[in-house]
Amino acid sequence: MSDLSEARFVAQHPPTTTAPAMALEIVDRLQDAVWLVDAKTLQIVVVNAAAAEMLGASAAELLGVHMTDLACTPEDVCFWDAALQGPRLGTDGQVVSDTWLRRAHRGDDGQGPETIPVTRQISLLTCDGASSYYLVVVRDRSAQTRIEEELELRIAELAATLESTADGILVLDLHGRIRNFNQKFSQLWNVPGELLSRRDDEAILDWMRRCVAEPHSYVRRLTTICEDVGLQASDILNLNDGRVLERMTLPQCSRGRPIGRVFSFRDITEHVEATRRIDTLSQTDALTGLPNLRVLGDRVEFALAMAQRDGTPFALLFVNLDRFNHVNETLGHGFGDRVLSQAAERLKGCLRQVDTVARLGGDEFVLLVHQADAGGAAVAARRAIEAMQEPFTLDGLRFNVTCSIGISLYPNDGTSMDELLRHADASMHEAKAAGRGNFRFHRHQPQGEDGQRLTRLRLDHAMRQALALGRFRLHYQPQIDMDTGNVVGAEALIRWTDPELGPVSPADFIPVAEETGFIVAIGDWVMREAIHQAARWHSEGNRINISVNVSALQFQQPEFVEEVAKALAKHQLAAEYLELELTESILIQNAEEALQRLSQLAALGVKLAIDDFGTGYSSLGYLKRFPIGRLKIDRSFVRGLPGDESDAGIVNAIVNLGHALHMQIVAEGVETEAQRVFLQSLGCGQYQGFLFAPALDALTFDARLASHAAQQQPGSTPAHVRLVHG
The model's pLDDT over 252-273, given as tens digits with 9 standing for 90+, comes to 888 888 889 999 999 999 998 8
Indicate the residue type of 538: H
pLDDT in tens, 608-640: 998 878 766 556 766 778 888 899 999 999 999
Burial class for 194, CB neighbours closer than 10 Å (0-12, 13-18, 19+): exposed
| Whether pLDDT at 357 is above 90 | yes
| Whether pLDDT at 15 is above 50 | no
Helix ranges, 247-332 (H): 269-283, 293-310, 324-331
| Whether pLDDT at 719 is above 70 | no
| Whether pLDDT at 462 is above 80 | yes
Q: Beta strands 686-687 and 664-667: pairing type?
A: parallel
Task: State what percent of residues in the chain have pLDDT above 70.
Answer: 88
> How far apart are alpha carbons 578 and 538 in whole angstroms?
12
Q: In b/e form, how buried is each residue of 141-165, taking b as 16+ CB within 10 angstroms?
A: beeeeeeeeeeeeeeeeeeeebeee
pLDDT for res 453: 59
pLDDT for res 720: 38
Angle at 288 between CA 283 and CA 292, to 5 degrees: 30
Task: State what percent of residues in the chain have pLDDT above 90.
Answer: 37
pLDDT in tens, 103-125: 866 545 555 458 889 888 888 88
Which is the CATH superfamily of the domain at 458-711?
EAL domain (3.20.20.450)
| Whether pLDDT at 447 is above 50 | no
For the segment 542-557, the average pLDDT, to the nearest whole number, is 86
Q: Which of 696, 715, 714 is nearest to 705 (CA)?
A: 696
Q: Which position has the higher pLDDT, 187 or 165? A: 187
pTM confidence score: 0.46
pLDDT for res 714: 52
| Whether pLDDT at 350 is above 60 | yes
Fold of 284-444: Alpha-Beta Plaits (3.30.70)
pLDDT for res 10: 45
For the segment 336-360, the average pLDDT, to the nearest whole number, is 93
pLDDT for res 612: 79
H or E element in which residue 157 lies: helix 142-164
The residues of the chain that CATH labels 3.30.70.270 are 284-444
Asked if 69 contacts 61 with a C-beta cutoff of 8 angstroms, the reply is no
Position 129 confidence tier, pLDDT thresholds 50, 70, 90: low
| Whether pLDDT at 19 is above 60 | no
pLDDT for res 718: 40
| Whether pLDDT at 684 is above 90 | yes
For the segment 187-194, the average pLDDT, to the nearest whole number, is 90
- Greatest Cα pair distance in the chain: 169
| Whether pLDDT at 591 is above 80 | no
The residues of the chain that CATH labels 3.30.450.20 are 3-140, 157-271
> How far apart are alpha carbons 62 and 55 in whole angstroms?
9
Burial class for 310, CB neighbours closer than 10 Å (0-12, 13-18, 19+): exposed
DSSP helix/strand/coil, 167: coil
Helix ranges, 416-490 (H): 417-433, 447-469
pLDDT for res 288: 92
Please state, rounded to an integer, the average pLDDT across all residues of the chain. Answer: 84
Asked if 496 contacts 507 with a C-beta cutoff of 8 angstroms, the reply is no
CATH C-level class of 3-140: alpha beta
For the segment 30-52, the average pLDDT, to the nearest whole number, is 88
Fold of 157-271: Beta-Lactamase (3.30.450)
